[in-house]
A and B are shown apart, each in its own frame.
Chain A
Amino acid sequence: MCLAIPAQVCELLADDRARVRVGDVLKTVNIALVPQVRLGEFVIIHVGYALERLDPLAAEQTLALLHEASDLQPRRAESANDPNGQERTDEIH
């Protein structure tokens, strides 16, 4: 409940650590929870730990939906992949 912020991985370090960047601000964080993370990817940082990777494609999709809403045209479309199949991300039309 919880202040967490997207930051870009700019250097991988020893000991499960990485240097990340928010704008021009650099911070060293613990990446033990996202061990497969790669340089250039974005992660969500909370209290000095990366909690999860941010999916750029999903972010673009969300933004696209938001922009489309400004046309205010009703449209039914299928949502993004959901391997679990339990719920889907809904469109906002």
Chain B
Amino acid sequence: MKTSQPVAAGHPERIELVHGGGGRASAQLIERMFIRAFDNPMLQQKNDQARFDVPTRRLVMTTDAHVVSPLFFPGGDIGSLAVHGTLNDIAMAGAEPLYLAVSFILEEGILLRDLQRIVASMARASEAAGVPIVTGDTKVVERGKADGVFITTSAIGSVPNGVDLSADRAQPGDQILLSGTIGDHGVAILSARDSLGFTSPIRSDSAALHDLVKQMVRQVPTIRCMRDPTRGGLATALNEICQQSGVGMLIDEQAVAIAPAVQSACELLGLDPYYLANEGKLIAICPAAQADRLLAQMRAHPLGQGASRIGVVTTDPQAMVELQTALGGIRLLDWLNGDPLPRIC
């Protein structure tokens, strides 16, 4: 990967409307900033589209818009978040990601060196994942019309034969596995916002999960579904699966791992970690007979070392998620109502 060419003396420090205008300044930005960083044969052709052969297997396609604020946070930035997030959407189908597409909406006035940092981060993420960014687009909007940078990423992937992951396939008796600690990304983002005024060692868990997924489906092709609990947190992802499959769940609170610093931050602010975003974790629903094997496979992978069995799918016409608390009581783990906001009461 080549790094973007540094901004030469005498050149502008900031993005200007002309950079999105389609003329020379645009072309230079694209060449020096993006193509150089994302460097691959398809992109080097500089067509408006990337051409490739279609594998004979089933294909999946996904797209995401990323509007995170702040742009930079402990453990990542909007760029790496965008790449990882889209790769994970592909991975949750049990698919292997093939190609990425990226489009940028840049706010007039953002620093070129900030953009460079974001682009470098995306290039690193793409290269580490082995998935090239083969086509893209850039537009510039007036100051105030975007939060610095909006990034949209899309990807396609191919699904191995025999793999059929879908949120409507969970059945009573299935085991629910979680790949690691929850709430890390949510707290990392909050800690980077001045208005809440706390410091913590927590870093975002943003990571590409497709290699972990590849090992998992190879070991246990009969996995019913996988989901990464991003916006809305673990609670939301579990409720979604219940609703799609028409089942209930019983979760063991003691089996759900939460890093101590995440717990502390949540206590301080009055937040519930079950509703905070995770960007490098997944839930897998698996037939009981294969659960042990799947868990062992997950734990053998760097991104699944903290994996645990957190619960079981139940028969429930109301399709609710119940939580057995550490004290032994039972309560609902309901859908999120609105954004999680810090409370005083």
Contacts and interface: CB of A to CB of B under 8 A. Distances in A.
Complex contact flag A–B (Cβ < 8 Å): yes
Interface of A: 1-3, 5, 7, 22-28, 45-48
Contacts of A27: 197-199, 268
A28 B345 contact: no
Measured as residues with beta carbon below 8 angstroms from the partner, the interface class of chain B is 10 to 19
A22 B345 contact: no
Interface stretch (B95-103, B256-264, B301-309, B311-319): B256-264
A3 B198 contact: no
B267 interface: yes
A13 to B, nearest CB: 13
Interface of B: 197-201, 260-261, 263-265, 267-268, 270, 343-345
B345 A25 contact: no
A25 B265 contact: yes
Contacts of B198: 25-27
Contacts, number: 42
A26 B199 contact: yes
Contacts of B261: 23-25
A12 to B, nearest CB: 17
A25 B198 CA distance: 7
Contacts of A47: 344
B268 A22 contact: yes
B199 A2 contact: no
A21 to B, nearest CB: 9
Given A5-B267, A7-B268, A23-B260, 20 more contacts: A1-B345, A2-B344, A3-B270, A3-B343, A3-B345, A5-B268, A22-B264, A22-B265, A22-B267, A22-B268, A23-B261, A25-B199, A25-B200, A25-B265, A25-B268, A26-B198, A26-B199, A27-B268, A45-B268, A46-B344
A66 B199 CA distance: 34
Given A3-B270, A5-B267, A24 B260 contact: yes
25 contacts: A1-B345, A2-B345, A3-B344, A5-B267, A5-B268, A22-B264, A22-B265, A22-B267, A23-B261, A23-B263, A23-B264, A24-B200, A24-B201, A24-B264, A25-B198, A25-B199, A25-B200, A25-B261, A25-B264, A25-B268, A27-B197, A27-B198, A45-B268, A47-B344, A48-B197
A28 B268 CA distance: 12
The 4 closest A-B pairs by CB, nearest first: A23-B264, A25-B264, A24-B261, A22-B264
A30 to B, nearest CB: 11
B268 to A, nearest CB: 5
